[in-house]
Amino acid sequence: MRIIHSIHEMQTIAKDLHKEGKTIGFVPTMGYLHEGHATLLKQSRAENDIVVLSVFVNPLQFGPNEDFEQYPRDSERDESIAQSVGVNYLFYPTSTEMYPMPLATTMTAVDRVDVLCGAKREGHFDGVVTVLAKLFNIVLPDRVYMGMKDAQQVAVVQGLVDDYNIPVEIVRVPTVREEDGLAKSSRNVYLTDQERKEAVVLSRSLELAQEMIHSGETSAESIISFIEKEIVINTSGTVDYVEIYAYPTLKQVDVLEGQLIIALAVRFSKARLIDNTVFVVHANKGEEITCSVQ
């Protein structure tokens, strides 16, 4: 594995790899890697000739009340995990390398950003699309691997790729979960023992909601109310949101049909957890309603 710090060097390597007919799989991260990241990298390893991992804590993604300096960093651990799953190139630029001077042009994400987590993080996704536009032009990937735990981010990035005809395929990778269903997250370590036991209710409520739809429930309001009650009754957490939208457009739906997302966020004493499920509802007139998880 080679560690690259220079944009020019990374871009030159990527161009040379394409000349050799190699395919490049890319996993962009902000580091502090965990099993979820490793899953993305393993799938990229299986589907491409070359795997590139970027580790860059992007300052543009942090709002005024979010502490960029306190974001967890562990370069030795990141390098060890990258090495273990067969990463070929670890792109590790500094902020000065990525943003040597104030941007002459800016990017603004205007759609898919005013719901879910984006509703309370104004400007966050502007930073996401800006840094990814840069990274896509530096790494020149054929495929980009993104975890569906951050389904809103995946939707926003898909919009970026579609809008600007960026020649990359966004590969959605299912959420990595603990044995009991809890979505893996670096935030889980901040749960108390009791909260950890309660947190399984998040994924379980999503499963039950799908069963309700499969059984014929067509009211989004009823499903949202059911999930909220499950969380309130069975956990000490506070519901931040439970929402249902079309996916990946993240538009409100009047009829529960087509590809949908049910997403939720719950605050515990020292951790805010998110989870979601994306699935397709087939509800043809006179036929049984069916749900298939994506």
Active-site amino acid positions:
37
Sheet containing 272-282: order of strands: 238-246, 258-267, 272-282, 290-293
Residue 30, marked binder: yes
Residue 147, marked binder: yes
Residue 153, marked binder: yes
Distances from the Cα of 293 to the Cαs of 175, 202, 210, 276, in angstroms?
12, 17, 9, 11
Residue 259, marked binder: no
Cβ-in-10-Å burial (0-12, 13-18, 19+) of 183 comes to buried
Residues 113 and 137: beta-carbon distance below 8 Å: no
What angle (nearest 5°) sits at the alpha carbon of residue 103, between those of residues 101 and 108? Answer: 155
Residue 214, marked binder: no
Residue 31, marked binder: yes
Category of 61 on φ-ψ map: left (φ > 0), alpha (ψ -120 to 50) or beta: alpha
- The torsion angles phi and psi of 183, rounded to 5 degrees, stand at -65, 130
Cis preceding linkage at 64, omega within 30: no
For residue 7, give the DSSP letter: H
Residue 37, marked binder: yes
Residue 184, marked binder: yes
Residue 185, marked binder: yes
Residue 34, marked binder: yes
Residue 35, marked binder: yes
Residues 46 and 166: beta-carbon distance below 8 Å: no
| Residue list, annotated binding site | 30-37, 61, 147-150, 153, 176, 184-187
Per the annotation, binding residues for (R)-pantoate are: 61, 153
Binding site per annotation, positions for ATP:
30-37, 147-150, 176, 184-187
Please enumerate, by residue number, every residue annotated as part of a binding site for beta-alanine: 61
